[in-house]
Amino acid sequence: MANSKRIIVLGAYVSDATFRAERMPKLGETIIGQSFKFGPGGKGSNQAVASARLGSNVSFISRLGDDAFAKMAYELWKEEGVEPLIVTDLEKGTGSACIYVDTHKGSNAITIVPGAALNICAADIEQFKYSIQSGSIFIAQLETPLDATIRALEISRQSSLTTILNPAPAVKLDRQILSLVDYLIPNEIEAELLTGIEVKSIEDARVASVRLIDLGCHASIITLGEKGALFNNGQSISIIPAPQIREVIDTTGAGDCFCGAFAHAMLQNLPPLEAVQFACNAAAISTTQQGAANSMPSIDDVNNLINFEN
Ligand code: ATP
Ligand code: RIB
């Protein structure tokens, strides 16, 4: 029987301009890069695409400008089967991001201008209140205004949705918001900003995860790049190693893939620890492809991971 449960994502869509080069230019310097690609990004949209590509029903709440980038967003979501719940902003254009990928390591540095997504407001959330209430899992990040995110988390909590917050880009958060979060999914940098604990090792992540629970979230999952992820549900702590990947091409969107895949696995009623393992596998695969939304794996890719690795 088809699963009628739904994931609701609030966040930004932006167009990613990605430059691949052997290193990043220093301020004031010009370097010759290796390649350029233009494609769909924005953490929220990437997470929505990740869940949908794995087979979940997904709705995406955002604001877009009235422009060519917005058309690209609608085409993407149509192709991926993501339901758009969009307000058209007449003041700001659809956002964009400039991404540098280091071709040696596959790692990146990103500047994002969220554009219209910065005008998402609590009234938009009220407009889509019934859609949120009809969902099972709610996900947000921090590329959209905090007041709207808090309102959406409150509605989700009142309606018993499972709430996931990916606190990216890194921002300090107080107990008011963290106590509305069932699963907080920061990377090492975000965990450090939230806790004041430098996260350089698994042991550091263990200490930071305890602090995150003290700060009010129900459970924390700190993503640790090639080291995998650390899960703390307030009772026990588990380390979930990442599968070994032969060649990392581009980690852009790996964190988004992790969040979208975790939500998908939770929607399938997997126990949280198994959902983290599933998310680690999906995110590892995403690092083998260029791009953000374009790098999200299908469910067959994840199921075939063992063949994939060999
Ligand atoms: P990004 O900003 O590059 O999208 P992030 O900093 O938000 O990523 P990471 O912790 O780097 O998040 O990666 C998220 C997840 O992706 C990790 O928990 C891991 O499961 C997977 N991953 C990332 N890098 C690798 C790698 N080199 N090998 C295997 N898995 C990886
Ligand atoms: O997490 C990766 C994403 O961050 C990119 O797609 C970029 O648009 C920024 O939002």
pLDDT band at 256; cut points 50, 70, 90: very high
CA–CA dist 279, 283 (Å, integer): 6
**Nearest-CA residue for atom 25 of ligand 1:** 226
Residue 140: exposure state from Cβ atoms within 10 A (0-12, 13-18, ≥19)? buried
Q: Which of 199, 207, 193 is nearest to 225 (CA)?
A: 199
Q: How far is the CA of 137 from the centre of ligand 1 (A)?
A: 22
The pLDDT of residue 3 is above 80: no
pLDDT of residue 2: 54
pLDDT band at 106 (very low <50, low <70, confident <90, very high): confident
Where residue 1 falls among pLDDT bands split at 50, 70, 90? very low
Block residue for tokens 């690795």:
309
Global pTM reads 0.97
pLDDT at 248 over 80: yes
Ligand nearest to the CA of 42: 2
Residue 105: per-residue pLDDT: 81
Ligand 1 centroid distance, CA of 223 (Å): 7
State which ligand 2 atom lies nearest to the alpha carbon of 12: 10
Q: Is the pLDDT of residue 310 over 50?
A: no
Q: Ligand 1 centroid to 295 CA: how many Å?
A: 13
Task: Check pocket membership of 173 for ligand 1, CB cut-off 6 A.
Answer: no
Tokens at residue 223, please? 């993503």
At 62 the pLDDT is: 98
- If one residue of 9, 16, 108 were mutated to test the ligand 2 pocket, choosing by the most ligand atoms within 8 A of its CB, it would be 16
Q: What are φ and ψ of residue 238, in 5° steps?
A: -130, 145
d(CA 228, CA 290): 20
- What integer pLDDT is reported at residue 306 of this predicted model? 52
What is the residue whose two structure tokens read 């990605």? 18
Mean pLDDT of the chain: 95
Closest ligand 1 atom, residue 254 Cα: 4
Identify whether 174 is a catalytic site residue.
no
pLDDT digits (tens, 9 = 90+) for 212-228: 999 999 999 999 999 99
